[in-house]
Copies of this chain bind each other. A is one copy, B any other.
Amino acid sequence: MTQFPDPSALSKSDLETGPIFAPRFDANGLVTAVTVEAGTNQVLMVAHMNADAITETLRSGHATYWSRSRGKLWKKGETSGELQELVELRTDCDQDALLVVVRQTGHGAACHTGRKTCFYRRVEMTGVDVKLSDTGEAQLFDPKAVYRR
């Protein structure tokens, strides 16, 4: 189990501007990870990492998350083949969120629905009604074929 320094032991200044990586995990031991495509910056997905997922991502060079639904480490693409090659990892000012810059391999689809990005629907308000409209993001693989068990 990876150990990182305790963020509560750092001053605000050290936490925000220093060289010490001390992720501020939540009560479940997780930080938010936002994954973007290298080059375009397009946001592909939002997931979570625990300490081991962070270390494994840095060590292996492949984005690895913590699957909350399955309760285990999740090397992205291990089932679908849609691996994510790590280009750069960044932390935010107060170290409770990570930016994961990747090259998306396989069909180029980060989303389990087969789309490049998970963000394929727009939230629109008309009067007091709020609804979603599809942006027409293409399906790059058929999830039924890829995830059959």
Contacts and interface: CB of A to CB of B under 8 A. Distances in A.
A119 interface: yes
A73 B15 CA distance: 25
A140 interface: no
A72 B118 CA distance: 29
Contacts of A97: 46, 118
27 contacts: A16-B113, A18-B132, A19-B132, A20-B132, A21-B123, A21-B131, A21-B132, A36-B41, A40-B41, A43-B43, A46-B96, A54-B123, A54-B130, A55-B125, A58-B125, A59-B125, A88-B122, A90-B119, A90-B122, A90-B135, A91-B121, A93-B113, A93-B115, A93-B118, A93-B120, A94-B118, A97-B118
